[in-house]
Amino acid sequence: MSDIKITIIDREGEAHVVNAPVDMNMNLMEVIRSYELAPEGTIGICGGMAMCASCQCYMLSHEHILPEKKYEEEDMLDQAFFVQDNSRLSCQIFITKEMEGLEVKIAPTAT
Amino acid sequence: MIKTDILIIGAGPTGLFAVFEAGLLKLKCHLIDALPQPGGQCSEIYPKKPIYDIPGFPEVLAGDLVNNLMEQIKPFDPGFTLGDRAETLEKQEDGNFIVTTTRGVKHQAPIVVIAGGLGSFEPRKPPIPVIGNYEDKGVAYIIRDPEVYRDKRVVIAGGGDSALDWSIFLSGIAKEVSLVHRRNDFRGALDSVEKVEELSKIGKINLITGAEVVDLKGEDSLDAVVIRHSGEAVSEEVKPTDYFIPLFGLSPKLGPIGDWGLEIEKNAIKVDNSFDYQTNIPGVYAIGDVNTYPGKLKLILCGFHEAAIMCQSAYQRIFPDKRYVMKYTTVSGIDGFDGSRKEAKREVVKSIN
């Protein structure tokens, strides 16, 4: 097992330092859900297909090593709310060891 | 009043398969769904995506799974109320339930099954604090009757297909159409994007990109939208308009079901998984992604299982005095309510001389 540490700031503004596995094909949305840092039903609604924007996060570090956005993600972010330049759909960010120390903030929920 | 044996709320794969299991017990079903077509998420969100964990199907497209389920339940002649949302649940003295939809359609049944998945799909509303004050007073999230906009000024927001298509359509009816989009690029179908570009060049559509509608103005009804232009110098513009139509797609909401007195946990309905997936209201069941219990997995195959178990319990509630033994379809075949019969080929006993 190999883990990295990442910092996730929840929607209330509280920071959580959590261990994220790099060898389980997990994405950031799944890491957030596994630690229940956002209520069930308010994150990862589409299950990780980049087809809702409920897992939107602001990436506060490591910009240069994040994977490029695919068409579906761009498309979804186009229609999402509270979008900023550093917005990503966390279901599209797979955990790799280069992400050690990553800091992200979960975006507010759209009504 | 629509009367049936089992009223199913949600026409996704789990709700559809429940029709089959009920049909084997000669119980008739009616389904209500907020979407205009059956299939739930499978049809609405990912019809062209493959699913690999339906037992017996190494790979099946979500849309094909729905088509197959519709074919499978056809003999049991289910009724549908589509494009309408279940609003209220009332229990009558005789034990029947009445479910009324947004449009006022009443459904009566002794058993109600909630197979609502993530909830009903509703338009996503932009985070403008005052927007609620202008709903039906100039703000609309769905275009029901385009004639309403004839000779009016309309501001549409969004960058997807529906924003593009309605801008094109309304440009032929409305006095003025403005399309506001946060980015410069649009991601709709190529023809639509080109058509909007063309209409914008000849002044039929007022294209406002790199901008967002951030506020609304008006005493009793909408008079103007406030558009914020991003870019090097952020500026705001007050644009007079009769209508504002934000088109940002759909997202699922548990909705009115949350107010039916059901026990809710983690945005899902708690059920008794040691027995029959019944909720805290006797006669009301919840199956598929909408329910929760220890160890719950939100998988289509789990919804199918829950549907089968639920139907046995529903049968016992409807016919408390009848004894029933589960039959295998291979043995007993399928008798449709339409008079059709499917059965395994009989072996012929004949001596060959």
Q: Which residues of B touch A49 (CB under 8 A)?
A: 45-46, 49
| Helix, strand, coil % in chain A, rounded to nearest 5 | 25, 25, 55
User: Which residue from A minimizes the CA distance to B184?
Assistant: A78
Q: Is B242 helix (H, G, I), strand (E, B) or coil?
A: coil
Chain B CB contacts of A50 below 8 Å? none
Separation CA B173–CA B203 (nearest Å): 14
* pLDDT score of A1: 61
Please tell me the predicted confidence (pLDDT) of residue B69: 98
* pLDDT one-digit tens code per residue, A8-19: 999 999 999 999
Q: What is the pLDDT of residues B282-333, one digit of tens each?
A: 999 999 999 999 999 999 999 999 999 999 999 999 999 998 888 899 988 9
Task: Please list every residue in chain A whose beta carbon sits closer than 8 Å to the beta carbon of residue B267.
Answer: 39-42
Q: Do residue A81 and residue B182 have CB atoms under 8 angstroms apart?
A: no
pLDDT band at B346 (very low <50, low <70, confident <90, very high): confident
Amino acid letter at A88? Answer: R
Are the C-beta atoms of residues B122 and B136 closer than 8 Å to each other?
no
On whether any CB of chain A is under 8 Å from the CB of B50, the answer is no
pLDDT of residue A41: 82
**Of B97, B116, B166, B164, the residue nearest B314 (C-alpha):** B97
Please work out, in degrees rounded to the nearest 5, the angle formed at the alpha carbon of residue B40 by the alpha carbons of B39 and B41: 115
Distance CA(A45)–CA(B117), nearest Å, equals 10
C-alpha A28/C-alpha A48 separation (Å) is 10
For chain B, percent of residues with pLDDT exceeding 70: 100
Q: Is the pLDDT of residue B169 over 80?
A: yes
B331 burial level (CB within 10 Å; 0-12, 13-18, 19+): exposed
Yes or no: say if A52 and A35 are a contact pair by the CB < 8 Å rule.
Answer: no
- B21 to chain A nearest CA, in Å? 27
Cα distance between residue B233 and residue B193, in whole Å: 27
Least trusted range by pLDDT, from A39-43, B187-191, B277-281: B187-191
Q: In angstroms, rounded to a whole number, what is the distance separating the alpha carbons of residues A50 and A90?
A: 9
- Looking only at the bridges linking them, the beta strands covering A87-89 and A56-59 are antiparallel
Does residue B285 or residue B230 have the better pLDDT? B285
- Give me chain B's average pLDDT, please: 93
- Which residue in chain A is spatially nearest to B266 when comparing CA positions? A40
Best residue of B42, B43, B45 to probe chain A, by most A CBs closer than 10 Å: B45
What is residue A111's predicted lDDT score, i.e. its pLDDT? Answer: 60
pLDDT for res A100? 95
Interchain CB distance below 8 Å, A78 and B118: no
What local confidence, expressed as pLDDT, does residue B190 receive?
Answer: 86
From B249's Cα to the closest Cα of chain A, the distance in A is 7
Enumerate residues 6+ apart whose C-beta is below 8 A from B71. Answer: none
Q: Is the pLDDT of residue A103 over 90?
A: yes
Distance of CA B25 to the CA centre of its chain: 27
Q: Is B230 on the interface with A (CB under 8 A)?
A: no
Q: Which of B23-27, B64-68, B148-152, B340-344 has the lowest mean pLDDT?
A: B340-344
Tell me how far apart the alpha carbons of residues B259 and B22 are, in angstroms, rounded to a whole number: 27
* Residue B187 clears pLDDT 80, i.e. is over it: no
Is the model's pLDDT at B174 over the cut of 90?
Answer: yes
Q: Is the dihedral of CA B245, B246, B249, B254 positive or negative?
A: negative
Minimum mean pLDDT among A46-60, B104-118, B168-182: which range? A46-60
Which three-class secondary structure string do you get for A22-72? CCCCCEHHHHHHHCCCCCCCCCCCCCCCCCCCCCEEEECCCHHHCCCCCHH
User: Which DSSP state fits B14?
Assistant: H
Chain A: closest CA distance from residue B301 (Å): 16
Residue spans of beta strands (DSSP E) within B92-132: 97-101, 106-109, 111-114, 120-123
In 10 A of CB A28, how many CB atoms? 26
